[in-house]
Amino acid sequence: MRQKFTLITLGVKDFQKALAFYEGLGWKKSEQSQETYALFPLGGIILGLYPLQELEKDTMLSYQQTVFSGMTISYNATSEEEVDAVMQEAERLGAAIVKPAQKAFWGGYSGYFKDLDGYVFEVAYNPFWKINDEGNLVM
Interface residues with a copy of itself (CB under 8 A) are 1-12, 25-28, 30, 32, 39-47, 52, 55-56, 58-76, 82, 85-86, 89, 98-99, 104, 110, 112, 117, 119-120, 122, 129, 131, 134-137, 139
What is the nearest approach in angstroms of a copy of itself to the Cβ of residue 40?
Answer: 6
CB 97 within 8 A of CB 113: yes
What is the nearest approach in angstroms of a copy of itself to the Cβ of residue 119?
Answer: 6
Residue (52 or 80) nearer to a copy of itself, CB? 52
Please spell the DSSP secondary structure of 99-113, one letter per residue: EEEEE-TTSSEEEEE
User: What backbone torsions phi and psi does residue 10 show, to the nearest 5 degrees?
Assistant: -100, 120
What is the nearest approach in angstroms of a copy of itself to the Cβ of residue 28?
Answer: 7
What is the nearest approach in angstroms of a copy of itself to the Cβ of residue 50?
Answer: 9
SS3 10: strand
Residue (16 or 120) nearer to a copy of itself, CB? 120
Residue (80 or 117) nearer to a copy of itself, CB? 117
User: What backbone torsions phi and psi does residue 88 show, to the nearest 5 degrees?
Assistant: -65, -40
Closest CA to 47 of 18, 83, 14: 18
Residue (20 or 137) nearer to a copy of itself, CB? 137
End-to-end CA distance of the chain: 20
